[in-house]
Amino acid sequence: MPKFSINRRQFLGASALGAYSLLHTQASGAEGVDVQIGLTPSNTHPGQKAVLSVADPSRIRLLQLTDIHFFCKTARPELDKQTLEDVPRLIEKTQPDILLVSGDLWHDNPLGKGKGFMEFALDKVSSWGVPWIFTWGNHDKLDDYAAGHDALHNAKHSLYRGGPGGGNYIVTLQDQAGADLWDLVCLNSMGRGLLAPQRDWLKALPGQEFRPAAKNAFAVVHIPVAQYEQAWAAPECGGVRLEGVSSWDEDGSALPLIKALGTVRAYFCGHDHVNDYRATVDGIELVYGRATGSGGYGGDEVPKGAKIITANAQSGQYTMETVYPDGSTWQTEPGKKIDQYENTPWAKSPA
């Protein structure tokens, strides 16, 4: 029989979700919904764009690590220890140019401990020795988000530039001569999804000096957009879905704004730990990464891992696969949809 761990909805509790209000953000805490995560800006570092030179424009390697959830289960420190063993192995096996840390890096802000959780997390991410981006997840809670932006910006190997934009920014991958190859549109989906602040930032983006300028781009966001439901319904969709799409208050209006940028090829999210599928909706591929942190729910249903993406800026093509710490891989197959644990390739046979 499969073991089913507590999922995110059960963890948060329905009553906390029902109490959502943009105007009345609850105090952050283990159970509270802090809607405006990362929204308070910081202008300590006014730029909203970082640049990274990559060695081989025909083989750009991006490793998406999502839902690391440091300090989720503080009574079981062996889980974070496992994550800290797994990530360096994932990096060693995949040799990425950049890490896409797509949210829920740490877990909440109980009794004001979020700052310490973040500092621990930034120390670890920096120690991995690879340039990295970060997008806010619904559990990345702090008392002081302006200070959080600054800490994220100042951390070693960080490409985070989200301070002035309330967590939204651009990273441009360039060749050694400084030509733009591929952009990353990094968005803060706060506590309840991409909402008015992010839509406003996206609407203004084409007029900004830091707008995406490469031919191709990926969006990196913690929470999926509503169209992930459509993606699952698409005949060519493939992958695993063991829980529903938690796009929450996102109403489907963010994706057209992302599409209007004209260059975004794919949207990478996390958030739903036991989903790993991909399909194209309205010209943009919607992709679930693979949850990485052993402290987060779902590891007994879907093994923890990461998503390695290889982009060729010369051809505009990209490929991806899920990778595990031992270096083995798994790929979604178009049209092959798995929605029962028993049908996953990693299901344990009954004892």
Using alpha carbons only, what angle is made at residue 68 by residues 103 and 294, rounded to the nearest 5 degrees?
Answer: 150
Q: Report in angstroms how near the CB of residue 156 gets to Fe ion at its nearest.
A: 24
Stretch that binds Fe ion, among 13-21, 87-95, 99-107, 125-133 (CB under 5 A): 99-107
Handedness of CA 281, 320, 152, 302 (dihedral sign): positive
Q: Is 104 in the site for Fe ion (CB under 5 A)?
A: yes
Q: Does the footprint of Fe ion cover residue 272 (CB under 5 A)?
A: no
The 8-class DSSP code of residue 176 comes to T
Q: Does 276 bind Fe ion (CB under 5 A)?
A: no
State in angstroms the smallest separation of the CB of 343 from Fe ion. 24
Q: For residues 67 and 97, which CB has a smaller minimum distance to Fe ion in the complex?
A: 67
Instruction: For Fe ion, give the closer residue by CB, 86 or 104.
Output: 104
- Could you tell me the smallest distance in angstroms from the CB atom of residue 288 to Fe ion? 12
Which of residues 232 and 288 has its CB atom nearest to Fe ion in the complex? 288
State the nearest-atom distance from the C-beta of 72 to Fe ion, in Å.
8
Residues that contact Fe ion, how many (by CB under 5 A): 2
- Contacts (CB under 5 A) with Fe ion, residues 48-87: 67
Sequence-distant (6+) residues with CB within 8 A of 114 are 28, 106, 108, 140, 141, 142, 143
CA distances from 43 to 21, 178, 201 (A): 26, 26, 16
Minimum distance between the CB of residue 181 and Fe ion, rounded to whole angstroms? 30
The alpha carbon dihedral of 201, 96, 119, 46 has a sign of negative
CB neighbour list of residue 290: distance below 8 Å, 6 or more residues apart: 64, 66, 276, 302, 304, 305, 306, 307, 322, 323
* Spatial separation of the C-alpha atoms in residues 312 and 229, rounded to whole Å: 29
User: In terms of DSSP H, where are the helices of the chain?
Assistant: 8-12, 14-18, 77-94, 114-127, 145-154, 196-204, 228-233, 254-260
Tokens of 118: 């973040």
* Cβ at position 125, least distance to Fe ion in Å: 16
Residues of span 122-161 touching Fe ion by CB under 5 A: none
Q: Which is nearer to Fe ion, 104 or 250 (CB)?
A: 104
Task: Report the residue number, 80 or 104, with the smaller CB distance to Fe ion.
Answer: 104
189 or 227: CB nearest Fe ion: 189
Catalog residues that contact Fe ion under the rule CB under 5 A.
67, 104
